[in-house]
Protein backbone atom coordinates (compact mmCIF):
# COMPACT_ATOMS: atom_id res chain seq x y z
CA UNK A 1 0.00 0.00 0.00
CA UNK A 2 1.53 3.30 -1.12
CA UNK A 3 1.78 5.97 1.56
CA UNK A 4 0.07 9.33 1.16
CA UNK A 5 1.92 12.65 1.18
CA UNK A 6 0.54 13.33 4.65
CA UNK A 7 1.93 10.05 5.95
CA UNK A 8 5.33 10.70 4.37
CA UNK A 9 5.33 14.16 5.93
CA UNK A 10 4.49 12.62 9.28
CA UNK A 11 7.52 10.34 8.99
CA UNK A 12 9.70 13.26 7.91
CA UNK A 13 8.56 15.41 10.84
CA UNK A 14 9.24 12.59 13.27
CA UNK A 15 12.77 12.03 11.95
CA UNK A 16 13.41 15.78 11.99
CA UNK A 17 12.31 15.91 15.64
CA UNK A 18 14.86 13.17 16.35
CA UNK A 19 17.67 15.52 15.36
CA UNK A 20 18.20 14.71 11.69
CA UNK A 21 18.22 18.21 10.19
CA UNK A 22 19.80 17.37 6.83
CA UNK A 23 17.20 16.91 4.12
CA UNK A 24 19.20 14.41 2.05
CA UNK A 25 19.81 12.16 5.06
CA UNK A 26 16.18 12.43 6.16
CA UNK A 27 15.03 11.47 2.68
CA UNK A 28 16.98 8.22 2.86
CA UNK A 29 15.58 7.38 6.29
CA UNK A 30 12.05 8.33 5.21
CA UNK A 31 12.33 5.96 2.24
CA UNK A 32 13.49 3.20 4.56
CA UNK A 33 10.60 3.80 6.96
CA UNK A 34 8.10 4.09 4.11
CA UNK A 35 9.08 0.73 2.63
CA UNK A 36 8.58 -1.01 5.97
CA UNK A 37 5.31 0.77 6.69
CA UNK A 38 3.89 -0.02 3.25
CA UNK A 39 4.52 -3.71 3.88
CA UNK A 40 2.89 -3.49 7.31
CA UNK A 41 -0.13 -1.62 5.93
CA UNK A 42 -0.60 -4.29 3.27
CA UNK A 43 -1.08 -6.77 6.09
CA UNK A 44 -3.02 -4.51 8.44
CA UNK A 45 -4.54 -1.21 7.30
CA UNK A 46 -5.82 -0.43 10.79
CA UNK A 47 -2.44 -0.25 12.49
CA UNK A 48 -1.46 2.79 14.53
CA UNK A 49 0.70 4.68 12.04
CA UNK A 50 2.41 6.91 14.61
CA UNK A 51 3.18 3.99 16.90
CA UNK A 52 4.61 1.97 14.03
CA UNK A 53 6.99 4.81 13.21
CA UNK A 54 8.19 4.73 16.81
CA UNK A 55 8.54 0.94 16.68
CA UNK A 56 10.67 1.11 13.54
CA UNK A 57 12.81 3.78 15.18
CA UNK A 58 13.44 1.45 18.11
CA UNK A 59 15.02 -1.01 15.68
CA UNK A 60 17.70 1.59 14.97
CA UNK A 61 18.86 1.33 18.60
CA UNK A 62 19.02 4.26 21.01
CA UNK A 63 21.59 6.23 19.01
CA UNK A 64 20.82 4.65 15.67
CA UNK A 65 20.00 7.87 13.84
CA UNK A 66 23.02 9.67 15.23
CA UNK A 67 25.34 6.80 14.33
CA UNK A 68 23.91 6.79 10.83
CA UNK A 69 24.43 10.56 10.56
CA UNK A 70 27.99 10.21 11.86
CA UNK A 71 28.81 7.55 9.28
CA UNK A 72 27.30 9.57 6.45
CA UNK A 73 29.11 12.73 7.59
CA UNK A 74 32.45 10.93 7.50
CA UNK A 75 31.64 9.54 4.07
CA UNK A 76 30.61 12.95 2.68
CA UNK A 77 33.68 14.68 4.11
CA UNK A 78 35.97 12.00 2.73
CA UNK A 79 34.47 12.36 -0.75
CA UNK A 80 34.63 16.15 -0.49
CA UNK A 81 38.31 16.34 0.39
CA UNK A 82 39.20 13.63 -2.10
CA UNK A 83 37.43 15.57 -4.86
CA UNK A 84 39.04 18.81 -3.67
CA UNK A 85 42.51 17.26 -3.81
CA UNK A 86 41.84 15.95 -7.32
CA UNK A 87 40.75 19.44 -8.35
CA UNK A 88 43.83 20.90 -6.64
CA UNK A 89 46.12 18.62 -8.70
CA UNK A 90 44.64 20.00 -11.92
CA UNK A 91 46.33 23.34 -11.20
CA UNK A 92 49.63 21.64 -11.95
CA UNK A 93 48.53 20.13 -15.25
CA UNK A 94 47.82 21.76 -18.57
CA UNK A 95 46.05 24.08 -19.14
CA UNK A 96 45.61 25.27 -15.53
CA UNK A 97 49.32 25.17 -14.78
CA UNK A 98 49.62 28.24 -17.00
CA UNK A 99 47.19 30.08 -14.69
CA UNK A 100 49.10 28.85 -11.63
CA UNK A 101 52.42 29.99 -13.07
CA UNK A 102 51.04 33.36 -14.11
CA UNK A 103 49.49 33.94 -10.69
CA UNK A 104 52.71 33.05 -8.88
CA UNK A 105 54.76 35.18 -11.25
CA UNK A 106 52.42 38.13 -10.72
CA UNK A 107 52.77 37.91 -6.94
CA UNK A 108 56.51 37.51 -7.33
CA UNK A 109 56.71 40.72 -9.32
CA UNK A 110 54.61 42.57 -6.74
CA UNK A 111 56.92 41.27 -4.00
CA UNK A 112 59.94 42.60 -5.90
CA UNK A 113 58.30 46.01 -6.17
CA UNK A 114 57.76 46.26 -2.41
CA UNK A 115 61.03 46.98 -0.66
CA UNK A 116 59.93 45.82 2.80
CA UNK A 117 59.16 42.12 2.31
CA UNK A 118 57.67 41.79 5.78
CA UNK A 119 55.04 44.37 4.82
CA UNK A 120 54.33 42.40 1.64
CA UNK A 121 53.64 39.19 3.56
CA UNK A 122 51.56 41.07 6.12
CA UNK A 123 49.46 42.37 3.25
CA UNK A 124 48.99 38.80 2.03
CA UNK A 125 47.87 37.82 5.54
CA UNK A 126 45.35 40.68 5.60
CA UNK A 127 44.02 39.60 2.22
CA UNK A 128 43.55 36.12 3.67
CA UNK A 129 41.58 37.45 6.62
CA UNK A 130 39.44 39.51 4.25
CA UNK A 131 38.72 36.29 2.34
CA UNK A 132 37.67 34.53 5.55
CA UNK A 133 35.49 37.45 6.62
CA UNK A 134 33.84 37.65 3.20
CA UNK A 135 33.23 33.91 3.19
CA UNK A 136 31.75 34.13 6.70
CA UNK A 137 29.40 36.95 5.67
CA UNK A 138 28.22 35.06 2.59
CA UNK A 139 27.62 31.92 4.68
CA UNK A 140 25.77 33.93 7.33
CA UNK A 141 23.35 35.55 4.89
CA UNK A 142 22.77 32.24 3.13
CA UNK A 143 21.82 30.60 6.42
CA UNK A 144 19.34 33.38 7.15
CA UNK A 145 17.32 32.33 4.12
CA UNK A 146 14.65 29.77 4.88
CA UNK A 147 15.85 26.63 3.16
CA UNK A 148 16.65 22.99 3.76
CA UNK A 149 20.03 21.85 5.02
CA UNK A 150 21.94 19.25 3.04
CA UNK A 151 24.74 17.14 4.44
CA UNK A 152 26.35 17.13 1.00
CA UNK A 153 26.66 20.92 1.27
CA UNK A 154 27.50 21.19 4.95
CA UNK A 155 31.11 22.11 4.26
CA UNK A 156 31.01 25.85 4.96
CA UNK A 157 32.28 25.49 8.51
CA UNK A 158 35.01 23.12 7.38
CA UNK A 159 36.13 25.55 4.69
CA UNK A 160 36.26 28.43 7.15
CA UNK A 161 38.36 26.32 9.53
CA UNK A 162 40.73 25.31 6.72
CA UNK A 163 41.18 28.88 5.52
CA UNK A 164 41.53 30.28 9.03
CA UNK A 165 44.14 27.69 10.03
CA UNK A 166 46.07 28.31 6.83
CA UNK A 167 46.11 32.06 7.50
CA UNK A 168 47.17 31.58 11.12
CA UNK A 169 49.98 29.29 9.99
CA UNK A 170 51.03 31.77 7.31
CA UNK A 171 50.92 34.67 9.78
CA UNK A 172 52.95 32.65 12.29
CA UNK A 173 55.68 32.14 9.70
CA UNK A 174 55.76 35.89 9.05
CA UNK A 175 55.91 36.75 12.77
CA UNK A 176 58.75 34.37 13.58
CA UNK A 177 60.91 35.35 10.64
CA UNK A 178 63.68 37.79 11.49
CA UNK A 179 64.77 40.81 9.46
CA UNK A 180 67.67 38.93 7.94
CA UNK A 181 65.41 36.17 6.61
CA UNK A 182 63.29 38.74 4.75
CA UNK A 183 66.42 39.70 2.84
CA UNK A 184 66.82 36.10 1.69
CA UNK A 185 64.93 35.57 -1.61
CA UNK A 186 64.81 31.79 -1.09
CA UNK A 187 62.84 32.11 2.17
CA UNK A 188 60.57 34.70 0.59
CA UNK A 189 59.87 32.47 -2.40
CA UNK A 190 59.13 29.48 -0.17
CA UNK A 191 56.62 31.46 1.87
CA UNK A 192 55.05 32.80 -1.30
CA UNK A 193 54.69 29.24 -2.62
CA UNK A 194 52.93 28.26 0.62
CA UNK A 195 50.49 31.15 0.18
CA UNK A 196 49.75 30.22 -3.44
CA UNK A 197 49.24 26.54 -2.58
CA UNK A 198 46.86 27.43 0.27
CA UNK A 199 44.89 29.74 -2.00
CA UNK A 200 44.65 27.14 -4.75
CA UNK A 201 43.44 24.52 -2.29
CA UNK A 202 40.74 26.89 -1.05
CA UNK A 203 39.77 27.54 -4.66
CA UNK A 204 39.54 23.78 -5.20
CA UNK A 205 37.33 23.28 -2.13
CA UNK A 206 35.03 26.08 -3.23
CA UNK A 207 34.80 24.67 -6.76
CA UNK A 208 33.89 21.21 -5.47
CA UNK A 209 31.32 22.75 -3.14
CA UNK A 210 29.71 24.56 -6.08
CA UNK A 211 29.69 21.34 -8.11
CA UNK A 212 28.00 19.51 -5.23
CA UNK A 213 25.44 22.29 -4.95
CA UNK A 214 24.62 21.96 -8.64
CA UNK A 215 24.13 18.20 -8.24
CA UNK A 216 21.88 18.69 -5.20
CA UNK A 217 19.77 21.21 -7.11
CA UNK A 218 19.32 18.69 -9.90
CA UNK A 219 18.39 15.93 -7.44
CA UNK A 220 15.96 18.12 -5.50
CA UNK A 221 14.61 20.65 -8.05
CA UNK A 222 11.66 21.64 -5.87
CA UNK A 223 13.74 22.34 -2.76
CA UNK A 224 15.39 25.68 -2.01
CA UNK A 225 19.12 24.96 -1.74
- Average of pLDDT values for 49-54? 91
Planar angle of CA 198, 159, 143, nearest 5 degrees? 150
Q: Looking at the structure, tell me whether residues 23 and 109 fall in a common domain.
A: no
Q: Looking at the structure, tell me whether residues 78 and 187 fall in a common domain.
A: yes
Kindly state the percentage of the chain with pLDDT values over 90: 41
- Average of pLDDT values for 190-216? 89
**DSSP label at 221?**
T
Q: Looking at the structure, tell me whether residues 50 and 78 fall in a common domain.
A: no
Q: Looking at the structure, tell me whether residues 120 and 142 fall in a common domain.
A: yes
Q: Looking at the structure, tell me whether residues 28 and 108 fall in a common domain.
A: no
Q: What is the pLDDT of residue 94?
A: 92
Task: Indicate whether 161 pLDDT > 90.
Answer: no
122 found inside a domain:
yes
65 found inside a domain:
no
Q: Looking at the structure, tell me whether residues 214 and 131 fall in a common domain.
A: yes
120 found inside a domain:
yes
Q: Looking at the structure, tell me whether residues 123 and 46 fall in a common domain.
A: no
Which pLDDT band holds residue 143 (cuts at 50, 70, 90)? low
Task: Indicate whether 1 pLDDT > 80.
Answer: no
Higher-scoring residue by pLDDT: 54, 158: 54
Residue whose C-alpha is closest to residue 196's, from 133, 127, 116, 143: 127
Count Cβ atoms below 10 Å from residue 219 Cβ, excluding itself: 13
**Weakest mean pLDDT among 29-33, 48-52, 127-131, 212-216:** 127-131
224 found inside a domain:
no
Q: What is the pLDDT of residue 99?
A: 93
100 found inside a domain:
yes
Task: Indicate whether 100 pLDDT > 90.
Answer: yes
Q: What is the pTM of this model?
A: 0.81
Q: What is the pLDDT of residue 181?
A: 93
209 found inside a domain:
yes
Domain that holds residue 185: 71-219
Q: Looking at the structure, tell me whether residues 116 and 209 fall in a common domain.
A: yes
Q: Looking at the structure, tell me whether residues 53 and 75 fall in a common domain.
A: no
Q: What is the pLDDT of residue 62?
A: 58
Q: What is the pLDDT of residue 160?
A: 66
- Average of pLDDT values for 76-88? 88
Q: What is the pLDDT of residue 146?
A: 58
66 found inside a domain:
no
Task: Indicate whether 109 pLDDT > 70.
Answer: yes
Which pLDDT band holds residue 149 (cuts at 50, 70, 90)? confident
Q: What is the pLDDT of residue 66?
A: 80
225 found inside a domain:
no
- Average of pLDDT values for 20-35? 90
Total domains present in the chain: 2
Q: Looking at the structure, tell me whether residues 135 and 154 fall in a common domain.
A: yes
Task: Indicate whether 225 pLDDT > 80.
Answer: no
Distance CA 173, CA 65 (A): 43
Q: Looking at the structure, tell me whether residues 56 and 75 fall in a common domain.
A: no
Q: What is the pLDDT of residue 172?
A: 86
Crossing angle of the two packed helices 23-43 and 64-89, in degrees rounded to 10: 140
Q: What is the pLDDT of residue 98?
A: 95
Q: Looking at the structure, tell me whether residues 42 and 149 fall in a common domain.
A: no
Amino acid sequence: MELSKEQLLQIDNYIFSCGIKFYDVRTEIVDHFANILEQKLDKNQDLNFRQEIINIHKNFSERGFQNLLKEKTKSVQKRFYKASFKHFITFFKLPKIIITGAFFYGLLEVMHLIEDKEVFFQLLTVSGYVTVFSFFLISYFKKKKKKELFLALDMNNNLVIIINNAIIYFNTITIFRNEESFLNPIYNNIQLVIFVLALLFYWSCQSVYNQNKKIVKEQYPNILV
